Amino acid sequence: MRRHPLEEPSNTEEEILAATYRALIAHGYAGLTVKRIGEEFEKSPSLIYHHYEDKDDLVLACLEFMLDEYAEQLTGEAIPDPKRHLAGMFAWLLTAGKRADDAAFLSLLVDLRSQAVHDTEYRAHFSRSDAVFREHMTDMLQRGSADGTLDIENPEGTAEVLFTLALGTIVRGATAADDGWPHRLRTAIDRYLTA
Amino acid sequence: MRRHPLEEPSNTEEEILAATYRALIAHGYAGLTVKRIGEEFEKSPSLIYHHYEDKDDLVLACLEFMLDEYAEQLTGEAIPDPKRHLAGMFAWLLTAGKRADDAAFLSLLVDLRSQAVHDTEYRAHFSRSDAVFREHMTDMLQRGSADGTLDIENPEGTAEVLFTLALGTIVRGATAADDGWPHRLRTAIDRYLTA
């Protein structure tokens, strides 16, 4: 999740999706309109209407594009030390509140994910997204288990626990104040990972 | 979370909040209007306007009322076997998708929680709500640790992990399809709790 896949759009299609992303960050899902996406877009807004029907069409295309990019990044990623990798991932998530861009990105994910409560297309997207990240974790735990780096009996179940914990962490970060919980949670996760 | 605090309203104020809850379940947050709350209310809608300014005022009062009721239930709850209690809680959450009323309740919580991404009043509510449930878990783990039922070094941190995992479970349940994850997650959690 470090490099943002839409920071450097390389064609008109990607420029439209990058404009959608910027408009989402600026206005949130509820405040998003195709007009506002047009304002973030440097070419003629008519190009947007030519490719997309409505704002959900644009948001879903933006989510799918980012997910495909992450999936590709994850596939090529070499992870020599899974415990350290997981500790780093939780450290990144639990300190995101201190970095405006990362906090805005994670808050947007929570905002968009909540659309899946009522909308089957968002639900299908986040089901696929969860499977991508969960399978990446499972793969990492299975390799670590096979080469003796990790001692776990149930990599699939452990991946579900870690993924669900990461999702809960993202949601808390986007929706609740820091009363010390990120520090307490990080300490506990670090203990489990070193145990 | 078993008995719904607004099932049997005992005065006009509670009847208004119960109508708010029913309207939220029927229409979701985005589809909620004060008019629709009035349609669920058996007395004159003017009573609603007399007590509340707008729909958020009603939703927040509804959330606060339910939280106070849960907080009271939790305080009086005797928990002789914390591991079994936690296993039961996750079993309840992970099978909620099969029970329409429970699924609707948890989906509503996710829908409303997402308002906290942009709204400081919802953020304040869910911060308080998280603290209530987290402290209940901490208390349960500390008692279990003190009387020898549990062997844990860091009850506060463990409570943060369990609470965050429960929240992640609720959010997944409300926003992603069941591709086998609830079963895999439950198996893994049961293993940890019996280990």
- Digit-coded pLDDT (tens) for A154-181: 999 999 999 999 999 999 999 999 999 9
B145, A87 Cβ separation under 8 angstroms? no
Query: In B, residues 106-125, which contact A (CB 8 Å cutoff)?
Result: 107, 110-111, 113-114, 116-118, 122-124
pLDDT (0 to 100) of residue B3: 56
Distance, in Å, from the CA atom of B27 to the CA atom of A118, rounded to the nearest integer, reads 10
A166, A89 Cβ separation under 8 angstroms? yes
Output the 3-class SS for chain B.
CCCCCCCCCCCHHHHHHHHHHHHHHHHHHHHCCHHHHHHHCCCCCHHHHHHCCCHHHHHHHHHHHHHHHHHHHHHCCCCCCHHHHHHHHHHHHHCHHHCHHHHHHHHHHHHHHHHHHCCHHHHHHHHHHHHHHHHHHHHHHHHHHHCCCCCCCCHHHHHHHHHHHHHHHHHHHHHCCCCCHHHHHHHHHHHHHHC
- Please state the pTM of the whole predicted model: 0.96
Query: In A, residues 19-48, which contact B (CB 8 Å cutoff)?
Result: 28, 30
CB nearest to B156's CB, from A30, A169, A184 = A184
Task: For this complex, say whether ipTM is above 0.90.
Answer: yes
Is the CB of A118 less than 8 angstroms away from the CB of B28?
yes
Q: Sorting pLDDT into bands at 50, 70 and 90, what band is A1?
A: very low
A-chain residue closest to B165, CA distance: A165
pLDDT digits (tens, 9 = 90+) for B36-75: 999 999 999 899 999 999 999 999 999 999 999 999 999 8
Is the CB of B130 less than 8 angstroms away from the CB of A154?
no
A106, A93 Cβ separation under 8 angstroms? yes
Is the CB of A161 less than 8 angstroms away from the CB of B185?
yes
CB nearest to A123's CB, from B131, B177, B185 = B177
pLDDT digits (tens, 9 = 90+) for A61-119: 999 999 999 999 998 788 989 999 999 999 999 999 999 999 999 999 999 999 999 99
Q: Sorting pLDDT into bands at 50, 70 and 90, what band is A123?
A: very high
pLDDT (0 to 100) of residue A3: 56
Is the CB of A167 less than 8 angstroms away from the CB of B172?
yes
Cα separations in angstroms, A138 against A154, A160, B128: 9, 8, 34
Spell out, as residue ranges, where chain B has pLDDT lower than 50.
1-2
More confident residue, B99 or A194: B99
